[in-house]
Amino acid sequence: LVTYTTLITGFCKLAKLDDAYDLLNRMSNAELTPDVVTFTSLMDGLCREDRLSDALHLLGEMRRRRCFPTVYTYNTILDGYCRANRLEEARKFMLEEMDCPPNVVSFNILIRGLCKAGRSTEAVEMVEEARRKSCLPDVVMYTTVIDGLCREKKVDEACRMYEKMLQESGCSPNAITYSTLIAGLCNAGMLDRAREFISRGCIPNTATYSLLIDTFRKAKRDEEARELLDDMISRGFSVV
C-alpha cells in the first residue's frame, strides 16, 4: 500500500494524473484499499490541474468509504480553492467544513492565497488571526507575508514584519527569508539596506549574493559590487 501510494504521489506531483489513476486501478486489482494518504495525494494532483470540483467529489467518495480525512486532506482542498482564486470559499471551508482544527499550514495556505491576489494587507491581519487560533506564526508564514508585501512595493512594512519575526519565539529567519527580503529591497532600489542584512547575521546563499551584486552593478556601483564578491569568496562560496 505504501509503495503504491508513494508512486501515486510521485505521479501526481509530476502532473501525470492518468498514470496515477492507472496505479489506483492496479491497486484494486491487487486487492489493496487506498487509504487517506492515497486519497489526499490524488486530491492534490487534481487540485494542481485546476480540478477542484473533482477533488471535492473524491472527498465525498472517501468519506462514503469510511476513510476519514485528516488536516492534510483539508489543507490540500484549501490550497485547491486558493489556486482557483476562490479565497472567500477557502476561508468558509476552513471555518465551516473542517472537522478538525486548522494548523499553521492551513493558515499559510490562505495567507499565500491572499498575497498572490495582491491582498497582502489582509494577509498581515491573518497572521494575528492564526495566533489567536493557537497557530503560532512560523518561518513560512512570515516569509510568505514578507514576499507578498515586497511584491506590492510595501517594502517598509515587509521590513517591519521581519523585525517582528525576530521577536517571535521559536521562529527565526532562514536563507529563503533573506533572499526574499533582499530581493524586495533590491527591486525597490534600497541597496544600502539590502547590504546591511548581508553584513549582519544573515545566512545568504549564492542566489542572494548574485542578485545583490547584479543590482549594485546596474546601479553603477561597481566598487561595492566588487566588495560583495570578495565578501562572498571569503565566506567560502565558490565563484565560477
Partner RNA sequence: CGCCUAACUGCUU
**Applying CB under 7 A, which residues contact RNA?**
1-2, 5-6, 9, 13, 15, 35-38, 40-41, 44, 70-73, 75-76, 79, 103-106, 108-109, 112, 139-141, 143-144, 147, 174-177, 179-180, 183, 205, 207, 211
- Minimum separation from the CB atom of position 26 to RNA (A): 14
Written as one string, the DSSP assignment of 1-28 is -HHHHHHHHHHHHTT-HHHHHHHHHHHH
Looking at residue 224, its amino acid is: E
CA gap 87, 78 in Å, rounded: 9
CA gap 205, 203 in Å, rounded: 7
- Minimum separation from the CB atom of position 188 to RNA (A): 14
Query: Measured from the CB atom, is 43 or 223 closer to RNA?
Result: 43
Query: Measured from the CB atom, is 207 or 219 closer to RNA?
Result: 207
CB 58 within 8 A of CB 45: no
Query: Measured from the CB atom, is 52 or 183 closer to RNA?
Result: 183
- Minimum separation from the CB atom of position 177 to RNA (A): 6
Query: Measured from the CB atom, is 112 or 154 closer to RNA?
Result: 112
SS3 218: helix
Looking at residue 235, its amino acid is: R
Residue 215 φ then ψ, to 5°: -65, -40
Query: Measured from the CB atom, is 71 or 117 closer to RNA?
Result: 71
How does DSSP classify residue 93? I
- Minimum separation from the CB atom of position 8 to RNA (A): 8
- Minimum separation from the CB atom of position 174 to RNA (A): 5
